[in-house]
């Protein structure tokens, strides 16, 4: 009785709204607020379900959707500050002396000529359907996330306040839940009358919950909510269609086109409370048009008093305090949709996500990691970490030297030699982080690597997800990578048990699938000479095996694996995207030969010796 189930879902969604209303009523000091409460509740709910409100931003620069070229003729968003009149007002608005000076064109602006003006960030992983399409060099740049026709058009970015209180956020999720349920009911009714769409293998055809409209609802709500839910969505997007349904992946693509943008008043409030009311006195100019609207914060270009061009990452208010509840709300939504496979061990993934997100919201920690990476990589050719500007940074604002460069997906437009070089550097960096520093930036989002062609340098940004790995884990992990590279079945099983990927009680099919997955991952490292990432569809094979493992595994992966595998698969996907030819085995051997295994287990596995 799917129809009854849908009605139950609507009821669930509405009961979430009602629950919030009752909760709010209990907290309020009487019945006076009831009327406005009901009004606000309904407004918030319908606002999020309809998602038609909000001020559409008048961008200074228009996107040319095809060429992604932006016109820089109008820079009204840049505000200039003078020495004479530092802002001392108690209001959050900075003192504005004059507008509209014309900046010199900087390297970063040149870079922006190949980027949309407000760049959404997010984990730019591709599902297998897209990886499939990379079969030749010429196709390397054409990979796109599948989007429904409705979604393909560029979404107009909206200027909308971030819901900051836990109440308004919970209400947002409740509204979304009700909206999704209502959408499901509508879709079910449509199907009753017109019949279900007959698209083979398309999950949206199977479940009315996954209609295109609902996916769009979900995406736009995430864009408004921002924060943990959005980040979680990005994390989920690493999964392919066998795990996360295609319409949801397509919805996440909308999200990547740009989260909503904070209105100026909210932005000024954050800047004042974080850097003091005189924040503008430390700057020559500040561009209110964000360079990027990310999940946790938005990034603005500015010039310091001494003329350094900087990127200021400003956190959306409230997101740090609502991680826990946001994730619980997402979990509720997911479980009531009943869409994700049980063996995803969602609870574990959510727990890890909570920890990662709280770290990512702490920009002081990120600044520390950024500085640490700066030191670690200072002697390594080909990489640069921008300097942190301490007196313009705090727990919720992070200011760094602005660095030029194009993100990895744009490097695909450059020649083969350059793509090989960038692919090689990315793989070197990944192995160095894990096996040399034991400290890794675990967010492989392509726009976190900005390639500066003139210097042949990859500028590294975004260290929010940087973390240490214990020596013992890294020791065994290196042994396992080596076992995979050498097709050593026994060692793979032994190490997988030691690392906690297997319990030893698994079925034959699970064991075999696990070993096969190890062989596939080890393939690029298995033979000397350049490995051509265009030649084999690693991710397709892994995904097929992964689907089997999801059905048969007995234990969730060790905690370290979530971030590590995200990063490692990101490095592979980047090489695939680049269509690069990379001497992977040589890179691994160099690391392996210099590696000093810990005392706890000095045994080198037989497969480890060359």
Ligand X SMILES: Nc1ncnc2c1ncn2[C@@H]1O[C@H](COP(=O)(O)OP(=O)(O)OP(=O)(O)O)[C@@H](O)[C@H]1O
In the chain, the largest separation of any two C-alpha atoms, in whole Å, equals 79
Q: In this complex, which beta carbon is closest to ligand X, that of residue 208 or of residue 233?
A: 233
Residues near ligand X (CB under 6 A): 119, 121-122, 291-292, 294-297, 299, 311, 313, 386, 400, 402-403, 445, 447-448, 461-462, 464
Q: If we measure between CA atoms, which residue out of 504, 496, 500, 440 comes closest to residue 468?
A: 440
Q: Are 81 and 87 in contact (CB under 8 A)?
A: yes
| DSSP character string of 332-373 | HHHHHHT-S-GGG-HHHHHHHHHHHHHHHT-HHHHHHHHHHH
From CA 600, how far away is CA 341, in angstroms rounded? 38
Burial class (CB in 10 A: 0-12, 13-18, 19+), 83: exposed
In angstroms, give the least distance from the CB of 55 to ligand X: 23
Q: In this complex, which beta carbon is closest to ligand X, that of residue 224 or of residue 494?
A: 224
445-448: long-range pairs with CB below 8 Å, 24+: 445/121, 445/122, 445/123, 445/124, 445/234, 445/570, 446/124, 446/407, 446/408, 446/409, 446/574, 446/577, 447/119, 447/121, 447/124, 447/292, 447/407, 447/408, 448/407
Q: In this complex, which beta carbon is closest to ligand X, that of residue 44 or of residue 121?
A: 121
In angstroms, give the least distance from the CB of 121 to ligand X: 4
What single DSSP character describes residue 14?
Answer: H
Q: Which residues is 439 bridged to in the sheet?
A: 468
Q: In this complex, which beta carbon is closest to ligand X, that of residue 17 or of residue 275?
A: 275
Please say if 443 is a catalytic residue.
Answer: yes
Q: In this complex, which beta carbon is closest to ligand X, that of residue 114 or of residue 511?
A: 114
Q: If we measure between CA atoms, which residue out of 215, 221, 228, 226 comes closest to residue 172?
A: 221
Q: In this complex, which beta carbon is closest to ligand X, that of residue 311 or of residue 581?
A: 311
From CA 359, how far away is CA 392, in angstroms rounded? 20
Q: In this complex, which beta carbon is closest to ligand X, that of residue 151 or of residue 230?
A: 230
Give the ranges where 33-165 is alpha helix by DSSP (H).
34-50, 107-112, 128-132, 149-152
From CA 300, how far away is CA 288, in angstroms rounded? 7
Q: In this complex, which beta carbon is closest to ligand X, that of residue 409 or of residue 488?
A: 409
Q: If we measure between CA atoms, which residue out of 229, 169, 211 comes closest to residue 44?
A: 169
In angstroms, give the least distance from the CB of 401 to ligand X: 6
In angstroms, give the least distance from the CB of 154 to ligand X: 18
Q: Are 399 and 387 in contact (CB under 8 A)?
A: no
Catalytic residue among 60, 260, 287, 443: 443
Residue whose entry in the numeric block shows the structure tokens 């396992």: 480
In angstroms, give the least distance from the CB of 279 to ligand X: 18
Q: Which residues is 457 bridged to in the sheet?
A: 452
Q: In this complex, which beta carbon is closest to ligand X, that of residue 223 or of residue 311?
A: 311
From CA 376, how far away is CA 381, in angstroms rounded? 12
Q: If we measure between CA atoms, which residue out of 229, 244, 210 comes closest to residue 172?
A: 229
Residues that are catalytic: 443
């Amino acid at each position: 009785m799917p129809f009854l189930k849908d009605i139950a879902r609507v009821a669930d969604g509405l009961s979430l709204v009602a629950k919030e209303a009752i909760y709010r009523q209990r907290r309020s000091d009487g019945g006076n607020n009831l009327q406005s409460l009901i009004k606000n509740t309904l407004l918030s709910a319908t606002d999020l379900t309809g998602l038609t409100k909000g001020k559409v931003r008048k961008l200074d620069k228009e996107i040319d959707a095809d060429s992604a070229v932006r016109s820089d003729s109008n820079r009204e968003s840049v505000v200039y500050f003078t020495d004479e009149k530092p802002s001392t007002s108690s209001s959050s608005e900075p003192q504005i002396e004059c507008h509209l000076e014309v900046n010199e064109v900087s390297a970063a602006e040149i870079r922006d000529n190949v980027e949309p003006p407000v760049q959404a960030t997010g984990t730019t992983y591709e599902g297998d359907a897209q990886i499939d399409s990379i079969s030749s060099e010429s196709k390397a740049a054409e990979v796109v996330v599948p989007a429904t026709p409705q979604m393909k058009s560029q979404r107009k970015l909206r200027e909308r306040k971030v819901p900051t209180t836990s109440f308004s956020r919970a209400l947002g999720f409740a509204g979304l839940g009700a909206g999704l349920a209502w959408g499901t009911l509508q879709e079910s009714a449509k199907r009753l009358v017109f019949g279900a769409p007959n698209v083979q293998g398309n999950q949206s055809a199977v479940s009315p919950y996954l209609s295109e409209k609902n996916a769009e609802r979900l995406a736009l709500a995430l864009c408004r909510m921002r924060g943990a839910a959005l980040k979680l969505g990005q994390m989920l997007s690493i999964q392919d269609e066998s795990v996360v349904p295609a319409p949801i992946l397509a919805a996440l693509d909308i999200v990547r086109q740009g989260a909503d943008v904070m209105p100026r008043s909210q932005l000024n409030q954050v800047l004042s409370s974080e850097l003091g009311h005189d924040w503008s006195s430390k700057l020559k100019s500040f561009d209110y048009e964000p360079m990027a609207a990310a999940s946790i914060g938005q990034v603005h270009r500015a010039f310091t008093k001494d003329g350094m061009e900087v990127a200021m990452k400003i956190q959306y208010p409230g997101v740090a305090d609502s991680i826990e509840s946001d994730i619980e709300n997402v979990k509720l939504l997911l479980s009531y949709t009943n869409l994700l496979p049980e063996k995803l061990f969602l609870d574990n993934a959510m727990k890890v996500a909570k920890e990662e997100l709280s770290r990512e919201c702490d920009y002081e920690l990120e600044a520390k990691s950024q500085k640490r990476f700066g030191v670690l990589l200072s002697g390594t050719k080909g990489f640069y970490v921008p300097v942190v500007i301490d007196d313009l940074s705090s727990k919720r604002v992070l200011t760094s030297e602005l660095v030029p460069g194009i993100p990895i997906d744009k490097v695909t437009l450059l020649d083969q030699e350059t793509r090989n070089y960038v692919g090689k550097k990315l793989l070197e960096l990944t192995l160095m982080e894990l096996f040399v520093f034991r400290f890794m930036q675990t967010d492989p989002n392509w726009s976190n690597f900005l390639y500066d062609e003139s210097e042949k340098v990859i500028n590294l940004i975004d260290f929010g997800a940087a973390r240490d790995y214990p020596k013992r884990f890294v020791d065994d992990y290196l042994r396992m990578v080596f076992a995979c590279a050498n097709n050593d079945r026994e060692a793979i099983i032994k190490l997988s048990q030691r690392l906690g990927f297997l319990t030893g009680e698994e079925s034959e099919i699970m064991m075999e699938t696990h070993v096969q997955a190890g062989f596939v991952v080890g393939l690029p490292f298995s033979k000397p000479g350049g490995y051509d990432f265009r030649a084999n569809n690693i991710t397709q094979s892994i995904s097929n095996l992964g689907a089997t493992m999801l059905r048969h595994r007995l234990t969730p992966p060790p905690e370290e694996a979530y971030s590590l595998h995200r990063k490692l698969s990101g490095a592979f996907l980047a090489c695939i995207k680049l269509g690069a030819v990379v001497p992977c085995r040589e890179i691994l051997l160099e690391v392996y030969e210099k590696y000093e295994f810990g005392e706890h287990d000095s045994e080198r596995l037989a497969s480890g010796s060359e």
